[in-house]
C-alpha cells in the first residue's frame, strides 16, 4: 500500500494528476505518446511497482492504463496538479463511479478543508 512513488527524481502520489510520456515502437518507427490523468492506485514494491492512471475520454468514457514504474519505455512523468495531502485510501477506485464534475468537487472541498486547517495553526 504505497501512497507515493518516485520516477527519475519526480515524486507523485495517489490522487495527483500526472502526464506520462511513453515511447511506442511501431515497426521501425518510434513515437512518443502522452497519457494524462489521475493516479488511482500504486501497487507492489521494488522493481515490480506499478501505478494506474485514469482519465475521462471522449463522451465521458473512463480510460485506465497500468504502467510499470521502472519500465524503460516511460520517458518522463510530469506532475500536472498535486492532489490532496490528506488522501485516506491507498486505492481510489471509487472515482470510477464519479463524473468529472463530481471529482473536481471532491478536490475543491478537500482543498478548502486543508486551507482552513493551515489558517488555524
Query: Which pLDDT band holds residue 74 (cuts at 50, 70, 90)?
Result: very high
Determine the longest span between alpha carbons in the chain, in angstroms: 59
Q: Which domains does the chain have, with CATH numbers?
A: 4-120 (2.30.30.790)
Give the angle subtended at the CA of 120 by the CAs of 117 and 121, to the nearest 5°.
90
At which residue does the C-alpha cell 494524462 appear? 36
CA–CA distance from 114 to each of 14, 79, 81, 105, 107 (Å)?
17, 20, 16, 14, 11
Does the structure show a pLDDT above 70 at 120?
Answer: no
- Which one is predicted more confidently, 66 or 115? 66
pLDDT digits (tens, 9 = 90+) for 97-111: 888 888 778 777 766
Amino acid at each position: 500500500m504505497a501512497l507515493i512513488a518516485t520516477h527519475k527524481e519526480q515524486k507523485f502520489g495517489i490522487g495527483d494528476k500526472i502526464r506520462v510520456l511513453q515511447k511506442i515502437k511501431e515497426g521501425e518507427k518510434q513515437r512518443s505518446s502522452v497519457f494524462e490523468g489521475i493516479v488511482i492506485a500504486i501497487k507492489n514494491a521494488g522493481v515490480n511497482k506499478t501505478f494506474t492512471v485514469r482519465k475521462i475520454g471522449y463522451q465521458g468514457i473512463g480510460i485506465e492504463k497500468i504502467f510499470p514504474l521502472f519500465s524503460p519505455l516511460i520517458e518522463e512523468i510530469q506532475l500536472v496538479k498535486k492532489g490532496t495531502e490528506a488522501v485516506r485510501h491507498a486505492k481510489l477506485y471509487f472515482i470510477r463511479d464519479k463524473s468529472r464534475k463530481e471529482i473536481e468537487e471532491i478536490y475543491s472541498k478537500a482543498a478548502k478543508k486543508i486551507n482552513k486547517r493551515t489558517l488555524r495553526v
